Amino acid sequence: MWERYSRQVILPQIGTDGQSKLAESRVVIIGCGALGSVVAGTLARAGVGHIVVIDRDFVELNNLQRQVLFVESDVGRPKAIAAAEGLGLINSTIVVEPVVKDVNQTNVELLIQDADLVLDGTDNFQTRLVVNDACVKHGIPWIYAAAIGTSGLVLPILPDGPCLRCLFPAPPPAGALPTCDTAGVLSTAPLVTAGLESTEAIKLLLGKGQEPRLVMIDVWDQTISTLAVEKAADCVCCGQKNFEFLTAEKEEIITTLCGRDAVQITPATPGRISLPELAAVLAPVGEVEQNDYILVFRTQGYEISVFGDGRAIIKGTDDSNLARSLYARYIGV
């Protein structure tokens, strides 16, 4: 039965009972970029039975340097769809569920319901704080992970704390943290970071998690260190149970995308739109490409990628006001 996993089953840390637990597990991976694609591939190969891959974006050529699930023919396709197809080729015996959505306070609780574990593959701190609130509220373990430049961080977060806000009580101010625009990313940094995240995931799914420690690595300097994280008695989230990132106003969400010269706009009330009908409307005023998942419209030096729920990524500017104006002018919803 376990021939596929024979080299894993003989490990004393796993065995046949552990392999059965993995097969019965459901994980949700939020973000399928450099970290998420490695974690998804690793857990699929490990035999995790149900993997939900959530990503808001589509594959670009510069992703191929570090996002290992994708190939050149995936460029222009939604990452979640391309990832699910790739994972199906890796392991056809598991269930892989792709979700093309932006995770935010309007949908996160629905998206993570029934998960045994949530894994961080995101590229921004705001989303992580939303996920932290939702997981603490619903008693779901999750793993925070980040990679930038040549370094990476991993922290398992258990339902009884400490949580992410014990480590970061307030969101870092703008400009306080390096971004892929300012620091770049060495392809091996997310690989090693995601390897640690995947290992912690397997341990948690097997019920063998340890006291939460923040692991810090630098692949260039070949250093690794750990920091014990203690629960803050006055933590707003896991202490006071004040989930302020979930209760934020459910209004239009505008996000500047790291390293993309692009802005994402998520409508306050997402709804289905007909991409073929929108393509017909836009064709007279610009260049249009459209498939089952996404419409790409190019005009006046801008590229507007529209998804079926009304969400759009406007490429060619990091000015949110200009992006909102372009959205209103051409999408109008």
The amino acid at residue 4 is: R
Q: What is the per-residue pLDDT for 323?
A: 84
> 240-258 pLDDT, tens per residue?
999 999 987 666 677 777 6
Q: Which residues contact 144 (CB under 8 A, 6 or more apart)?
A: 120, 128, 132, 153, 154, 155, 156, 157, 164
One CATH from 3.40.50.720, 3.40.50.150, 3.30.470.20, 3.30.70.360 for 3-228: 3.40.50.720
The answer to whether 238 and 282 are in contact (CB under 8 A) is no
Local structure of 210: helix, strand or coil: coil
User: What pLDDT is stored for residue 311 in this prediction?
Assistant: 87
Task: Place 62 in a pLDDT band, splitting at 50, 70 and 90.
Answer: confident
pLDDT of residue 251: 64
Confidence band, pLDDT 50/70/90 cuts, at residue 270: low
What is the model's pLDDT at position 267? 79
Could you tell me the two tokens for 83? 């990832």
For 68-79, how does the pLDDT look when each residue is reduced to its tens digit (9 = 90+)? 999 999 998 999
CB atoms within 10 A of CB 183: 14
Q: Which CATH class is domain 253-330?
A: alpha beta
Cβ-Cβ contacts under 8 Å for 88 (sequence gap 6 or more): 96
Q: What is the pTM of this model?
A: 0.84
* pLDDT > 90? residue 89: yes
Start-end of CATH 3.40.50.720 domains in the chain: 3-228
* Selected residue with higher pLDDT from 169 and 120: 120
Q: Is the pLDDT of residue 193 over 90?
A: yes
Q: Which of 113-122, 134-143, 197-206, 298-307 has the lowest mean pLDDT?
A: 298-307
**Assigned token pair, 220:** 């260039």
What are the structure tokens assigned to 130, written together? Answer: 């939303």
- Among 53-57, 139-143, 178-182, 263-267, the range scoring the smallest mean pLDDT is 178-182
Distance (Å, whole) CA 40 – CA 137: 25
Q: What is the pLDDT of residue 212?
A: 86
Q: What are the backbone angles phi and psi of residue 262, rounded to the nearest 5°?
A: -150, 155
The residue-averaged pLDDT of 140-151 equals 95
**What residue spans in the chain does CATH classification 3.30.310.10 cover?**
253-330
> 139 versus 300: which is more confidently predicted?
139
Catalytic residue among 180, 235, 237, 238: 180
Give residue for tokens 């980040």.
146
Buried b (16+ CB within 10 A) or exposed e, 161-174: bbbbbbbeeeeeee
- Taking the C-alpha atoms of residue 226 and residue 95, their distance in angstroms, rounded to an integer, is 34
To the query of whether residue 180 is one of the catalytic residues in this protein, the response is yes
| Helices 188-205 and 34-46, axial angle in degrees (round to 10) | 40
